[in-house]
Amino acid sequence: MQLAVWTYEGPPHVGAMRIATAMRDVHYVLHAPQGDTYADLLFTMIERRAARPPVTYTTFQARDLGGDTAELFKTAVRDAYERFRPQAMLVGASCTAELIQDDPGGLAKTLGLPIPVVPLELPSYQRKENWGAAETFYQLVRAMAGPHAPPPGTKRLPGRRCNILGPTALGFRHRDDIAEVRRLLEAMGVEVCVVAPLGATPADLARLGEADFNVVLYPEIAGQAASWLKRSFGQPCTTTVPIGVGATRRFCAEVAALAGLPAPSDDVALRMPWYSRSVDSTYLTGKRVFIFGDATHAIAAAQVAAKELAFEVVGLGTYSREFGREVREAAKAHGIEALVTDDYLDVEAAIAAAQPELVLGTQMERHVAKRLGIPCAVISAPVHVQDFPARHSPQMGIEGANVLFDTWVHPLMMGLEEHLLTMFRDDFEFHDGAAPSHLGAKASGPAELGNGRAPAAPSVPAPAAVTPHAVAGDPISWGAEAEQELKKIPFFVRGKARRNTERFAAERGIGVITLETLYDAKAHFAR
């Protein structure tokens, strides 16, 4: 076991909570010790939901371990049913309660409740959150829709009705993605029967088989259930996730083929393509970008970055080990090796070594990028409260492509402004202590120190900086003066200047890069 400050995924019972919280008329009884109720905060504080999750904890304590914890669990199940009267109930154990082996499914079955009770076997020490969500959704779909499956061999004719599968509680922009994708489908003439699990009831899951095909938005969550529906009901499913301009067009074409409709042309609201072709965007061309997140968003982001914004993808990775093969295949298409890990320290080291000019990742990569002084945009869970905006901000569809464009380009644009502010920080007229120029020389305010003139901003010497190569064992480091001079170079070529200078120093056996080394390297590469 490894002690970590951050983790990309929680235990699988948190994934089960995401499904239960997303749905209506479902209740989850979790055999867990006192203290495991921390998971409620994920929904009420981070996602800012108006109600706490539909979860009852047994909250046994240390003194209860000497007694009958099984009876404690059965009492909790009875009480939860009497109080909430759900259409269906989930029962399971947290990672800690799993060790006492009370068998929640077997215990709940002995109670003879008049509703479906779905037992969850979630191995907490082998699997994680997204797997737990996928397994929970799959078990619920089987339990609710299974009795309505047609006889084997029944043929299904193409039609224009679909289900949207995959969005959950605590999902990154899932609420907004649903609205955007539903708008796309309805504009094509496709009827949406059920959206699940978000907003669905167990009765809705029982109707899944009425649709003609399934739209899978998040394979990490809905892939397993969609495969079962295809085998049991003969329902085909989409394979394209509509993130970005190209993927949205391919998604619409795929849906049209499944529904027997002509492919639509709804590009009127797109703003990314024309800007990407304009002269204003050319300074973004070739920017080095490092991408890390769940498999769905990471693969899509790499495609958008390379094909639609002309960025250079220098890093691509995921913490979704179940989708490692797909991410590795995507990385090969960009000529790089994928990073499949759930250790944020490995990700930080990879970002430092790649020296990108933009990071697209989770909230953890946001912290890493801030430490390294690199612009960053969040593209995937895990995320914090600021990534659950009150406004409509999808990642998918036509409007999602516009949101991606804004979210990714703005950090680079604002970086240019920050560079200009930094460049003029020591100027007599623009330093932090200078009075506003439009108020005149005799302006009064905190900038004046009694003589009508603000002092020059003190020059703070920059500490010597160790390069990413030095972290990996290479002794090359930057002197304070050289590092300070490097900061005067515009941010959009600073990374290239740093790499060239370090290569120049390494080839000549220089251990510490001085101001003279920096100028020599500049002259060398300017030939």
Q: Which of 64, 177, 280, 427 is catalytic?
A: 280
Place of tokens 């072709």: 277
CA distance 128 to 174: 20
Instruction: Judge whether 36 is annotated as a binding position.
Output: yes
Sequence-ordered list of residues with C-beta below 8 angstroms from that of 164, at least 6 positions apart, any chain: 178, 181, 182, 185, 192, 194, 195, 196, 214, 215, 217
CB 54 within 8 A of CB 26: yes
CB 457 within 8 A of CB 425: yes
Sequence-ordered list of residues with C-beta below 8 angstroms from that of 487, at least 6 positions apart, any chain: 422, 462, 494
CA distance 381 to 201: 25
Question: Measuring CA to CA, which residue among 524, 478, 490 is closest to residue 504?
Answer: 524
Copy the structure tokens of residue 198. 């978000």
CA distance 360 to 366: 8
Instruction: Judge whether 217 is annotated as a binding position.
Output: no
Place of tokens 């300074």: 283
Asked if 280 is an active-site residue, the reply is: yes
CB atoms within 10 A of CB 526: 6
Per the rule left: phi > 0, alpha: psi between -120 and 50, beta: everything else, 59 is: left
What does R_g of the chain's alpha carbons equal in angstroms? 28
CB atoms within 10 A of CB 210: 15
Q: Residue 131: in which H helix or E strand, if any? A: helix 129-145
Instruction: Judge whether 416 is annotated as a binding position.
Output: yes
CA distance 385 to 365: 15
Contacts of the segment 101-106: beta carbons below 8 A, 24+ positions apart: 102/31, 102/69, 102/70, 102/73, 103/70, 104/29, 104/31, 104/73
Q: Residue 358: in which H helix or E strand, if any? A: strand 358-361
Place of tokens 């080394």: 517
DSSP state of 87: S
CA distance 71 to 69: 5
Q: Which stretches of 117-189 are assigned E, i.e. beta strand? A: 117-119, 161-165
Residues involved in catalysis: 280
Annotated binding site for substrate: 415-416
Annotated binding site: 36, 415-416
Annotated binding site for [4Fe-4S] cluster: 36
